């Protein structure tokens, strides 16, 4: 039986269906809006939680302290929203390690682990299992991106992936 690690997202369980858990702001290279812009939209959409999960690497390309200051300012400006500071990092290997520095991870309320690519499909399921066992990782991100690009090679493994997901929700 797998031992489930404690996950930080559990303390926000009440907001699972009333939040956006994977938002990139201008701090990531694939988004444009400010944190305040997204908070205004979250409020307009009736959300109760928004998690800013910027793309990071071990050699981060932006000032995470300034990003943190922006999140702190938004928490003051939008007291009706639960605003989480987080990151999205790619899975590096079958051991489930992610490409993020300890300095960044220590500051995060939520961490997303994502498979942007994975060379050996036979190692995808063990890597997924190990990523979800990693106590640092809270959420499996961009599930359909890798799955759709590897669908023909992953189909026999899908039921195993879903059972791992079910196990992770009990963490």
CB 100: neighbour CB atoms within 10 A? Answer: 23
Total-model pTM: 0.81
Q: Would 134 be classed as within a structural domain?
A: yes
Three-state DSSP at 170 gives coil
pLDDT of residue 89: 93
The tally of domains found in the chain comes to: 1
Confidence tier at 171 by pLDDT (50, 70, 90): very low
Least confident range from 21-25, 32-36, 70-74: namely: 21-25
User: Is the CB of residue 56 less than 8 Å from the CB of residue 104?
Assistant: yes
- The CATH number assigned to the domain holding 121 equals 3.20.20.140
Q: Would 128 be classed as within a structural domain?
A: yes
Please state the separation of Cα 10 from the chain's center in Å: 14
The boundaries of the domain holding residue 111 are 8-169
Q: Would 1 be classed as within a structural domain?
A: no
Q: Which residues pair with 115 in a beta bridge?
A: none
Going by C-beta distance under 8 Å and a sequence separation of 6 or more, which residues neighbour residue 167?
Answer: 2, 4, 132
Q: Would 2 be classed as within a structural domain?
A: no
CA-nearest of 64, 77, 53, 65 to 140 is 53
Q: Would 58 be classed as within a structural domain?
A: yes
Instruction: State the Cα–Cα distance between residues 137 and 126, nearest whole angstrom.
Output: 15
């Amino acid at each position: 039986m797998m031992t489930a690690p404690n996950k930080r997202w559990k303390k926000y369980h009440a907001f699972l269906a009333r939040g956006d858990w994977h938002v990139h702001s201008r701090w990531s290279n694939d988004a444009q809006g400010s944190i305040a812009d997204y908070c205004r939209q979250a409020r307009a959409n009736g959300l109760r939680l928004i998690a800013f999960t910027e793309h990071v690497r071990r050699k981060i390309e932006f000032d995470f302290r300034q990003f943190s200051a922006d999140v702190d300012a938004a928490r003051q400006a939008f007291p009706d929203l639960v605003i989480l500071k987080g990151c999205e990092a790619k899975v590096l290997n079958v051991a489930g390690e992610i490409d993020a520095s300890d300095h960044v991870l220590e500051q995060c309320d939520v961490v997303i682990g994502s498979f942007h690519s994975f060379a050996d499909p036979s190692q995808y399921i063990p890597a997924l299992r190990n990523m979800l066992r990693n106590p640092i990782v809270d959420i499996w991100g961009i599930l359909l991106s890798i799955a759709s690009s590897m669908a023909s090679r992953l189909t026999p493994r899908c039921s195993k992936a879903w059972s791992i997901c079910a196990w992770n929700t009990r963490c």
